[in-house]
Structure 1
Amino acid sequence: MSQRPRISVKNKPPNWPLGERGLEKLRLELSSQDALAPLLAMALLIGFCAGAVTIGFRYLSEWPAEWFLTAPGHFESLPPHWCFALPLIGALVLAGIYRLLEPNRRYVGVVHVLDRLHNHQGQMPGINALLQFFAGAVALLSGHSVGREGPAVHLGATSGSWVSGRLKLPNNSVRSLLGCGVAAAIAASFNTPLAGVVFAMEVVMMEYSVAGFLPVILAAVAGSAVTRITFGSQPAFNVPAIQLSSLAELPLLFLCALSIGLLAGLFIRAQRRLAPLQRKSPLLRFLAAGLVTGTLAIWVPEILGTGYDTLEMAMLGKLGLGALIAIVAAKLVATALASGLGIPGGVIGPSLFLGACMGGIAGGLTNFLLGDATASPGFYAMVGMAAMMAALLNAPLAALLAILELTYNPNVLFPGMMMIVVACVVSRHLLGTEGIFQETLRALGKSGTPSWRQQMLSRVGVASVMDRHFAVTPREIVEEDAVRLIEQHPQWIVIDLPGEPTQLLRAADLASFMQRLAEAREQGREQKTIGEKPPVDLLKLPGERLQLAPLNWRATLLEAQQHLESSGADALYVDRGRGGTLDRDVAGIILPQHIDNFYRK
């Protein structure tokens, strides 16, 4: 008498997490689209982590400058020869750092975050984050025309990805927690929690849902709390609550928004042409950016670094018309080259700088033509910041809220909304550009905005929708085991074939075969056998068999769909990754109809 094979029957209800404990339960709960409570707990943790990393980066990019600057960011205090030499020295240091790394480890910034989110399930490499941390600080300290918000977004996203990876959370939750890290980083960088939330949802995650918003809001609060503990609760810029003097100025604001939209569109087009050069030698690219920036800085040192001191002076109306025109021209060239050639910094700060100066120019011209009865140039600078940021980033709501939180001036909302609409329409439709991040992704040959279907499928983990009514058996089983298996009422039978692709059989086909076999014996048409009955071969009995391919349980439904297409399999079995025999590995079954039924609900 041969030993009967062990049959593993999985017949639990779909709420698999209820059968688990501790961290395993948390992981499986997070695979659901509506796992709000555990997401909130994780968002709070990531918010503090991202805030702390962002504050650390800010210290690293500002503290050493105290040795050679009279005030933070005040590069105007340097003699002309140092204004020229500093960007060149920084370019050489950056080129040396980049030469130590492989090309795929050199990607940094918001564009890299979007690429990893949409094409790599939000897995952020640690080496790229370290490069961003130190190289971004070098770029800012050496006066390159970039902002600190791009590095902050990268570091915040990596914080979310790192925590998710350490806890081995499902990939759909990694996506949400990466967005939490981005929101916390923006909030910590500028002390703008609301703008951080909207930026994460509008630019990075590209979705609006209650389950998506609440964790991001909590993370932004945590990130902003870290900033307030460290630097206090004062707004980033101390400007008076000035307002629009008359509605008659709206046509002038319209013209200002029109020019800002044109400038933003031209900037994005320049980025589109320069971005492919990022595949070239770092030394040549960085030296070109450093040489141009240094040369311009000899005459216009205000363009060096983040330029927040100059930006505040523009909002206070302390810069003359000629100075503003020169600053805009030089800053535009320096920022376009630095961003397009891959200097590891951001464009959010420069967009605010350019918008403020453009608004200041419009305000100065208005005062000159119409007299002092109009609003001050500082007010035009504030609304210009919102228009430029919105048109350049394709983020109108984030830009509006950022200006509100940066200035604590609600008077900017009404004219700012009008200017944002005009600038975005001009940039998008008149010049045919999208946001700078999406255009850069395309210029680098990477996929940009995912479709609505891809967005929906990436929000859900396979563990929350897989079919768990299955049994795992070897190819041949004795009739008694087959009867006992059918009595457990599984829906599917996973046929374990060592060394061959696993196959799937409907339990109903086995039940029909056993019923026909019993009826045949009762009617006497089956010859009686002596000794043991022959085993049932699951590969030979009538029925449809599906070829299975393995899928990690952390995967999303989008990954499941892509794996079905790439492997050519008919279905997937979800692998818990614990090792051992197949019956201990299989957690559930994913069929194409599970994916189709989800997004058609």
Structure 2
Amino acid sequence: MNDALLAESDSPVAAADGPGGESLANHRSSRQSALGWEERISRRFRNLSTRGAARWRTMPERPRTLIMTVLYALVGAGGAILFLKLTHFFYAKGLPVMAGKGIWTFAWQSFLLLGGSSLAVGLLLHFVCPEAAGSGVPQIKVAYWKHFGVLSWRPAWVKLVAGVISLSGGSSLGREGPSVFAGSAAASALAGTLGETRARRRGATASGAAAALAAAFNTPLAGITFVLEEIIGDMNSRYLGPCIVAAVTGAFAVYACIGRQPSFVLPEVAGVGWYVLALTLLVAVAAAGVGVGLQRGTMWLRRRVRERSRLPVWLRPVVGGLTTWVLGVAAFIVVGRLGVFSLGYDDLSDAMQRGMVWQVAAVLLIAKLGATIASYAWGGCGGIFAPTLFLGAMTGFLCGGVMNLVSGWTGWGGGVLGQHEMIVLASVGMSACFGATVRAPMTAMLMIFEMTHRFEMIPALMIGTVASQAVARLMTGKMNFYEEVLIQDGYHPDEVDPPRDLHSWQQQSVQIVMNTRPVMVEDRSPECLRGFMVEHRYKTFPVVADGRYVGVVRRSAMVEALRTASEVPIEHATICSGAETIQTAAARMVRESSDVSVWVDVKTGAVKGIVTLHDLFRAQNRAAVS
């Protein structure tokens, strides 16, 4: 009987159905039912994920890179499109509605809106994610060059939320900088989620930025050139291919969600006269001057706010918001337009289609310039793309109106410049003001062309671009808006714009690779030396007496002195200056057979820094990897 039961229970078909028993198949079925549908779906998902990850790891490098670039672009473009949609939706529910209720109602309601939104932005940035303040482009440059493009999810969503609140509330800033930052940060975070190492995240950062700008402005070519010119700083970068793929993907995304229409719909401008090209030079110089004024004014006020303001950091954006309110309400009372608030694209689009009298353009230009300077300098969240385009267009209309006025006074006949000529001058002003502020000439020219879809304006844009770059370099040197922001934040220019070859790297200041906070030996007693070596693991230490440099001691000599109870021998090291180049300091170290060089102040004898051959080798290797 037992043998029969054993034989039946071992059968692959079924077990014995004795009294109180059940088949093995029914037992398995009951167990699966007991697991629940959630557990079964979870198991299947885990199995699919495991098999998918295994296949992903075995996929060849090139197709995997292409797929990941498309994913980065979709995330970056999606963030930019979401930002655009939310900003337009909430802004339309605020200031335009308030403006239709009368001056006094508009004044007090807009006061509450600007003050409340600015306060919300300040609290969000200060207590949740301080690195999400500003435009976002400088932060991308720092992440790209100093941290291999590593960004996390938190700055992405905080920048998006704070930007929507800020611009919907009326702060005079732009949405393109936050869009680029959010897209770039989201792409970098996605790369980390997909298993990319920290050293391989730069491609994701660049791709996300290119896709986000392409989607924000509907300008794929400008998205490519901006990343190469401004963030990477090299038009021959190996990330050119991924940037092209990302920008095209971003363009497809915005075509699907919004449409293929340009940012500004312009009338036909093909019939403008040759003299307009001559006048574009004057307009470009004026618009570039406005861009330089924006940069200088913002940097000056931003520095004073940081050095002298006693307000809490989270409260400072309110000052910028209320300054915008004062200027915006004043401009609304005078000319009846809302262009000072937020992006100003409604007034800009209307002006680009139907023109604008020069008196109105002058009022909006002055008010918008002051509002933008205050909003950015006091710590608001937003970019400078939209303000520079608005200011440049108003400069073009102002210059065109003044030219017509002068021509009437001189007897040449009033109204030499018609609506079409005015629109061309306004477009040149947009390109020139943006180019002078950002110093990205190819982006400045291509962006206006793509935003208007007017091929016939390219010659005028080229003239304006060249003139604006010359004026900007003459008036402010080589530093653009973003680089000056980084310098104020404590970054050295070479940290975010490294040299492209060995010779350029060697011509940098030795301070770049130097430890400017060296650990120094002041007490050479055995007790102090023993604790000193436990606390610090360096191999060489400068020795000072009464604050003046004496020499250096080696860790090995300190160990030997403690073992033999003798005095620590002091050695002489190479002396250098902070003004020397890396090449000069390294050559002196080699010539004097020294592996350490100390920067000593000539007047006081104080030690200001120390650099070793190991520091030089490490910095050179890091530059080569970058």
The TM-score, its normalising length taken from structure 2, stands at 0.65
Question: Is residue 106–residue 128 contact of structure 1 (8 Å, CA) maintained in 2?
Answer: no
Say whether the 8 Å CA contact 1:252–1:366 is kept in structure 2. Answer: no
Compute the displacement of 1:86 (Å): 2.2
Q: Select which of 435, 438, 457 maps to 1:390.
A: 435
Query: Given the alignment of the two structures, is residue 451 of structure 1 paired with residue 498 of structure 2, yes or no?
Result: yes
Is 1:122 aligned to residue 149 of structure 2?
A: yes
Q: Which of 358, 361, 374 is the equivalent residue of 2:395?
A: 358
Match of 2:417 in 1: 374
Q: Structure 1 residue 423 and structure 2 residue 450: aligned? A: no
Report the residue type matching 1:57 in the other structure.
Answer: F
C-alpha change, 1:216 and 1:382, in structure 2 (3 Å) is: same
Question: Whole-Å Cα distance in 2 between the matches of residues 332 and 243 of structure 1?
Answer: 31
Letter in 2 for 1:424: Q
Alignment match, 1:282: 313
Q: Is the 8 A contact 1:107 1:128 kept in 2?
A: no
Q: Residues 263-310 of structure 1: CA distance to partner in whole angstroms, max 9, x if unpaired?
A: 211211122223343586234421211121111111223200111111
Whose Rg is larger?
2
- Report the Cα distance in structure 2 between the residues aligned to 1:307 and 1:269, rounded to whole angstroms: 22
Report 1:272-421 matches (<5 A). Answer: 272-276=299-303, 277=305, 281-300=312-331, 301-370=338-407, 371-374=414-417, 376-421=421-466
Matched-pair contact (CA < 8 Å) for 2:156–2:186: no
The whole-number CA distance in structure 2 between the counterparts of 1:456 and 1:179 is: 26
Q: Which residue of 1 aligns with 2:247?
A: 220
Return the alpha-carbon distance in structure 2 between the equivalents of residues 439 and 221 of structure 1: 31
Mapping of 1:12-411 within 5 angstroms?
Answer: 23-24=56-57, 37-68=63-94, 79-101=106-128, 103=130, 109-209=136-236, 211-243=238-270, 245-276=272-303, 277=305, 281-300=312-331, 301-370=338-407, 371-374=414-417, 376-411=421-456
- Confirm or deny: 8 A CA contact 1:393 1:436 kept in the other structure: yes
Mapped partners of 1:333, 1:349: distance in 2 = 14
Q: Tell me: CA distance 1:36–1:453, structure 2 relative to 1, closer, same or farther (3 Å).
A: farther
Distance 1:84 1:341 in 2: 17
- How many angstroms apart in 1 are the aligned matches of 2:467 and 2:314? 40
Instruction: Specify the alignment match of 1:464 in structure 2.
Output: none
2-structure distance, mates of 1:72, 1:23: 54
Unmatched runs of 5 consecutive residues or more in structure 2: 1-52, 332-337, 408-413, 506-536, 538-594, 597-609
> Per the alignment, do residues 430 and 99 of structure 1 end up closer, same or farther by CA in structure 2, a change over 3 Å counting?
closer
Query: Please, what TM-score do these two structures have when normalized by structure 1?
Result: 0.68
User: What amino acid sits opposite 1:358 in the alignment?
Assistant: T
Q: What is the identity, as a one-letter code, of the residue corresponding to 1:438?
A: E
Distance 1:127 1:21 in 2: 29
Q: Which amino acid aligns with 1:450?
A: D
Aligned pairs for 1:422-571 within 5 A: 422-432=467-477, 434-448=479-493, 449-453=496-500
Which deviations, in whole Å up to 9, do the C-alpha atoms of 1:144-193 show, x marking residues without a partner? Answer: 00111011011111122112211232445311221110110011111111
1:246 Cα deviation from its structure 2 partner:
2.8
Per-residue deviation, residues 8-35 of structure 1 (Å, max 9, x unmatched): xxxxxxxxxxxx9755567xx8xxxxx7
Contact (CA 8 Å) 1:308, 1:353: kept in 2 or not?
A: yes
1:73/1:144 CA distance change after superposition, 3 Å: farther
Cα displacement string for residues 44-95 of structure 1 (whole angstroms, at most 9, x for unaligned residues):
1111111111122222222233434558999999823333332122112222
Structure 1 residues 141, 223: CA separation in 2 closer, same or farther (over 3 Å shift)? same
Partner-residue secondary structure (3-state), 1:345 = coil
SS of residue in 2 equivalent to 1:240: coil
Judge conservation of contact 1:361–1:377 (CA < 8 Å) in 2.
no
Unaligned runs of 5+ in 1: 1-19, 30-34, 459-500, 502-563, 572-590
Change (3 A) 1:454 1:141: farther
Instruction: Report sequence identity in percent.
Output: 26
How far apart in 2 are the matches of 1:263 and 1:345? 19
In 2, distance between residues paired with 1:112 and 1:296?
Answer: 29
Distance (whole Å) between structure 2 residues aligned to residue 363 and residue 342 of structure 1: 35
Alignment check: 8 A CA contact 2:136 2:180 kept = yes
SS in 2 for 1:302: coil
Task: Work out which structure has the larger RCO, using CA pairs closer than 8 Å and 6 or more positions apart in sequence.
Answer: 1
- Higher deviation after alignment, 212-221 or 321-330: 212-221
Q: Distance in 1 between matches of 2:623 and 2:129?
A: 43
1:44 partner letter? V
User: Which AA in structure 1 matches 2:316?
Assistant: R
Of 138-147 and 259-268, deviating more is 259-268
Determine the C-alpha separation between the residues in 1 that align with 2:374 and 2:478.
18
Deviation at residue 195 of structure 1 after TM alignment = 0.8
Q: Partner of 2:444: helix, strand, or coil?
A: helix
* Distance of 1:168 and 1:51 partners within structure 2: 21
C-alpha separation in 1, matches of 2:102 and 2:204: 40
Q: 1:456 to 1:143 in 2, by over 3 A?
A: farther
Partner residue, 1:12: none
Q: State whether residues 98 and 110 of structure 2, in contact with CA within 8 Å, keep that contact through their aligned partners in structure 1.
A: no
